[in-house]
Amino acid sequence: MSLVTMNEVFPIAEEKKIAIPAFNVDTLEIAQAVLETIEEENAPSIIAVGQAAIKDGKLEALASIVTLLAGKMKTPVVLHLDHGQNFEQVIKALRAGYSSVMIDGSTLSLADNIAVTKQTLQAAHAVGASVEAELGAILGSEDNISHDDSKPFLVKVQDVVDFTSAVDVDALAVGIGNAHGLYKGRPNLDFGRLREVAEVCPAPLVLHGGSGIPADMIKTAIEIGIRKINVATEVRLSYVKGLNAESRSEDYYTMTNSGKCCVKELVREKIRLFSRR
């Protein structure tokens, strides 16, 4: 089927009280492995293209690949720009066929974040795409696998109230001590803050930094109201693990098939965890 937006998959998540997985893809092979598993599991999902892939020149190419592969599937798939850096990048993604975009104004003042999110909403909604915004810092860096998570920068509840009354976003990512990359030890997630936010936020809530969050914490986050969980680092690491396992074969397809198998295993595990199966 054709790509759908987040607004088509969130009602499914809300009805079942589950989270829609958002898997970052960086290569054709990873996209194949992720999409195959989504179809096998019949799990409506989001395919995200992040800033590392975009720096590598793949914003349009990955969009074409995902659109083509998703077009042959029965399961709904959203193609989503992850951490859109500015309005120009959002427009590039919309022109390339993304059905959903994130505008990350979390480093800006609240007023500037509201302004750039408003601009994004106008453009994206005009072409039928959905929009995710962000409040509160999500620690770490998408391109590194380690970070300092000792000082979580929590989203402010009043900011959520002010932000969502000014802009009608389709999803809101919040910083509750979560981080991109792998956590050192058990993540320091503030579920008390997440509960306060869930009470006042009219938009579906998004948890970034899904790699390495233990199953019990994922379950708690979903119970509180998280409806989208992003996983990037673990997808990449599982692909590399598969490549490495067959590196001595020196055969391209033996290596990439091994990488795909590892990605499929990881994606299946996350889908089942996020859908509380």
Q: Give the number of C-alpha atoms closer than 13 A to the C-alpha of residue 109, restricted to the C-beta side.
A: 3
Site string for ligand 13P, 55-94 (x = CB under 6 A): ---------------------------xx-----------
Q: Which residues pair with 22 in a beta bridge?
A: 46, 230
Binding flag, residue 136, ligand 13P (CB under 6 A): no
Site string for ligand 13P, 5-34 (x = CB under 6 A): -------------------x----------
Binding flag, residue 180, ligand 13P (CB under 6 A): yes
**Of 50 and 136, which has the nearer Cβ to ligand 13P?**
50
Site string for ligand 13P, 206-245 (x = CB under 6 A): --xxxx------------------xxxxx-----------
Report the C-alpha gap between 185 and 188 in whole angstroms: 9
Least Cβ distance, residue 47 to ligand 13P (angstroms): 12
Active site residues: 82
Report the C-alpha gap between 130 and 81 in whole angstroms: 10
Cβ contact 156:126 at 8 Å: no
Q: Which residues are near ligand 13P by CB under 6 A?
A: 24, 50, 82-83, 180-181, 208-211, 230-234
